[in-house]
Amino acid sequence: MRKRFALIAAVLLLLAALTGCGTAGQIVIGAQTYTEAKILAEMYKALIEDRTGLEARVIPDLASSTVVIQAMKRNDLQISTLYTGEIFNNHFPFEETKDREEVLRQAKEGFDRYFDFKWLDPLGFENTYAFTVRGALAEERGYESISDVKPDAGSLRLGVDTTWLEREADGYPAFSKYYGIKFGNTYPMEQSLVYQAVAQRQVDIVLAYSTDSRLKAYGLTTLRDDKQFFPPYDASPVIRNDLAEKHPEVVQAISELIGTIDEQTMIDLNYEVDIEKKSEREVALAYLKKNGLLQ
């Protein structure tokens, strides 16, 4: 019930933000609450305004991907960033797979057919679960992939989000069976606490998010998911088809970012906002200028 009220509140907030703001030729770009979505939205805005005769507006801090998708469907928003793993949230029929290209194909075809969205190719990074250790420990023991920790797993302390620890189908029980890894001790905690916990040696390995700025802040190393337990969550720009058809120059402008932002780059950009306290717009513009996309 609390989640339902939160969703309703988010929708009302979005509608309030948009009321009276729509002007002729203005494109509205939505961004969720996390930093990278807001940085990317500012990049889209800057490129659109630089390459076309259109104005763009960013609406940040939308509560969830569901809020974003429904707002785009109503045409309250025209552009956002979504992740290919969104197909697993039952928006439309899908086939279970962890193949990156197949997940992307289903995202493109499904959102085109059921929502009339144009799903562009990925930007070059994904934001997904990632097992993470202190950099010094990874160097000392030669940890590069999840499989590398298997010989030591019995002596390692795992810190992990409480809900993931308990989820049978895609949480710790399934992971343990899939990799044949069982950690010595598990410590359930809030997701926001895992970074500091591993940095301060309260645990040895944690399940983090792969583009979180705290990976850099605490000197943590992400382990490669060498057996592909987690489904891909590649970030892509998504545009309403009617906008893409009416203004193909908008698609062309945003497409200049496709394939150019890798995982480490996104971590670094998030770090500038979260840790160095720069604004999302400042970071976005600096990145575009540094890479020759803006004068």
d(CA 48, CA 105): 26
Q: What is the pLDDT of residue 4?
A: 46
The answer to whether residues 84 and 107 touch, using CB atoms and an 8 Å cutoff, is: yes
Q: 3-class DSSP state for residue 55? A: strand
| Strand partners of residue 57 | 28
For residue 10, the model assigns a pLDDT of 47
Model confidence pLDDT, tens digit, residues 235-254: 999 999 999 999 999 999 99
With vertex at residue 199, the alpha carbon angle to CA 193 and CA 200, rounded to the nearest 5 degrees, is: 90
Taking residues 218-237, report their average pLDDT: 97
Lowest-pLDDT range of 2-16, 151-165, 184-198, 276-290: 2-16
| Percent of the chain's residues with pLDDT above 90 | 89
- SS3 helix, strand, coil % of the chain, rounded to 5? 50, 20, 30
Lowest mean pLDDT among 10-14, 121-125, 284-288: 10-14
The residue type at 172: Y
A 10 A CB-CB count for 195 gives 21
Residue whose tokens read 């989000």: 161
The encoded tokens of residue 146 equal 């999840």
d(CA 77, CA 44): 13
Domains of the chain: residue spans and CATH: 2-126+232-290 (3.40.190.10), 129-222 (3.40.190.120)
φ/ψ of 231, rounded to 5, equals -70, 155
Strand 220-222 relative to strand 129-134: parallel, antiparallel, unpaired? antiparallel
Provide DSSP, 23-46. -TTEEEEEEESSHHHHHHHHHHHH
Residue 56 has pLDDT above 80, yes or no: yes
pLDDT band at 23 (very low <50, low <70, confident <90, very high): very low
Give the pLDDT band of residue 94 (cuts 50, 70, 90): very high
Count of beta carbons in the 10 Å neighbourhood of residue 131? 25
Q: Is residue 8 over pLDDT 90?
A: no
Q: pLDDT band for 287, please (50, 70, 90 cuts).
A: very high
pLDDT for position 169: 86
- Give the model confidence (pLDDT) of 195-223 as tens digits: 999 999 999 999 999 999 999 999 999 99
Per-residue confidence at 20, pLDDT binned at 50, 70, 90? very low
pLDDT digits (tens, 9 = 90+) for 75-89: 999 999 999 999 999
Percent of the chain with pLDDT over 70: 92
Confidence tier at 24 by pLDDT (50, 70, 90)? low
180 CB burial (10 A radius; 0-12, 13-18, 19+): exposed
Q: Which residue reads 């890798």 in tokens?
A: 262
H/E segment holding residue 81: strand 79-83
What order of strands is seen across the sheet that includes strand 205-209? 185-189, 157-161, 205-209, 129-134, 220-222
Q: Which of 217, 221, 165 is nearest to 191 (CA)?
A: 165
Pairing status of strand 157-161 against strand 205-209: parallel
pLDDT score for 215: 98
Confidence at 142, pLDDT banded by 50, 70, 90:
very high
Q: How far is CA 212 from the centre of its chain?
A: 9
Mean pLDDT (whole number) for 16-32: 67
